[in-house]
Structure 1
């Protein structure tokens, strides 16, 4: 896949514009890192990839290769083309934020995916009205037999990646999740990387 390799630093976010048909490859460089991922319609940021709408569209709680990611207007905005990992991702959990860390007992400011999304959009001169539920790439949140959930480390390996094709002109926002209280990132947040190609 051609294109320059970009870094999303640990605990930080990044936004990139994709034209319809372009492909982004998001790489779990260490294997242990979760990447919260959003797609926003470039022409209208009030339309965005929606996990609740996607689950209904694909009849699954985790998208697989070939599945569409649809918006809150039930239109495909991306297609998951390739996934070299075991395919364990999360579509149930909201982006971490100030309130999440307060609930976990953190008393000082803590980096969060919600703030990373806002800052990444702000860096390219944009602002979203809300923080949608992200596609949490590589996040391992199994639903147990009693309908409880567990917060577990990733099952991906170093260098695993997903490729998403833009089905609309869109902005992809990625956050190298800074969560270090529960073990989803093995309590050690790391960078992720990405390419964009036509």
Structure 2
């Protein structure tokens, strides 16, 4: 039964004017030593390179203390990124907590956090050639942790059709191939993503998630410092720059590239990989 809107109470304006409170104040978080990271990056040499073809996904590995750069080599292209602890697929990127700690979109100095019960930094953003973008007149920003990833289930729900080159399916196929596991097993590990280079926000009237053409151009990149040993899986979204649609064979798509850089020995003296979250896991009041 559809309910009619209720009449606003006399104190409606007062209720709306209540000052918001930040849910998770982050001023007690450890501040990443960006100066040390950048000094180490200055000495780093490329050690691995992975090219992700349009509408496909590939896996890559990064050792703790190394850097990885995601680049648009040929033109604007959105990428959907999953991260795992290299030797434990149960520890994976937690987009929701990253969003709660840093905001709807991430940038230089923000960290990508792992899921519960681990909850530790997996990677820190150290460079971003799109940091100039800020927020546009529509409320759009780049590199979001609010979108889930395009997937064949939602596509079928909305269109009644099967389409297999969604980011969810791309990530599933790539992880299955890397780990030598069945697709059905790999799919269970695929999780909400960091939408690299994607420009998104929420409409002011309906609050709906929107996307718009990525501001990235050929040569733009975002770079991360690996806080722990990582297995990454990156999909070159079938929506291309996501300026019109995703889960599509019609959009112009480009490849993405991942380059890993290892700094010289001694450049990270005093740095250590973060430990697991130290909550006791008792889950009971004292």
Fold-level similarity (TM above 0.5): yes
The residue that corresponds to 1:53 in the other structure is 97
| Distance verdict in 2 for CA 1:30–1:106, change over 3 Å | farther
1:83 aligns to 2:128 (yes or no): yes
Query: What pairs up with 1:8-157 in 2 under 5 angstroms?
Result: 8-58=52-102, 60-73=103-116, 74-85=119-130, 86=133, 88-105=142-159, 107-125=161-179, 127=186, 129-146=188-205, 147-157=207-217
Provide the C-alpha distance between the structure 2 equivalents of 1:184 and 1:22, rounded to a whole number of angstroms: 35
Post-superposition Cα deviations, 1:92-146, rounded to whole Å, max 9, x if no partner, equal 1111111122234262433111111122112222546332110000111122323
Structure with more relative contact order (C-alpha pairs < 8 Å, separation 6 or more): 1
Q: Is the 8 A contact 1:28 1:192 kept in 2?
A: yes
Give the match's secondary structure for 2:159: coil
Give the match's secondary structure for 2:202: coil
The residue that corresponds to 1:168 in the other structure is 228
Provide the C-alpha distance between the structure 2 equivalents of 1:69 and 1:108, rounded to a whole number of angstroms: 32
Query: How far 1:184 moved relative to its partner?
Result: 5.5
Provide the C-alpha distance between the structure 2 equivalents of 1:38 and 1:111, rounded to a whole number of angstroms: 16
1:191 aligns to 2:255 (yes or no): yes
Provide the C-alpha distance between the structure 2 equivalents of 1:4 and 1:95, rounded to a whole number of angstroms: 26
Runs of 4+ in 1 over 4 A off after TM superposition: none
Provide the C-alpha distance between the structure 1 equivalents of 2:194 and 2:213, rounded to a whole number of angstroms: 16
Provide the C-alpha distance between the structure 1 equivalents of 2:50 and 2:211, rounded to a whole number of angstroms: 29
CA-based RMSD of the aligned residues comes to: 2.2
The residue that corresponds to 2:284 in the other structure is none
Q: Which structure 1 segments of 5+ residues have no match?
A: none
Give the match's secondary structure for 1:109: coil
Give the match's secondary structure for 1:187: coil
Greater mean alpha carbon deviation, residues 143-152 or residues 29-38: 143-152
Q: Is the 8 A contact 2:214 2:243 kept in 1?
A: no
Q: TM-score, normalised by structure 1?
A: 0.89
Query: How far 1:2 moved relative to its partner?
Result: 2.5
Provide the C-alpha distance between the structure 2 equivalents of 1:64 and 1:129, rounded to a whole number of angstroms: 28
Q: TM-score, normalised by structure 2?
A: 0.63
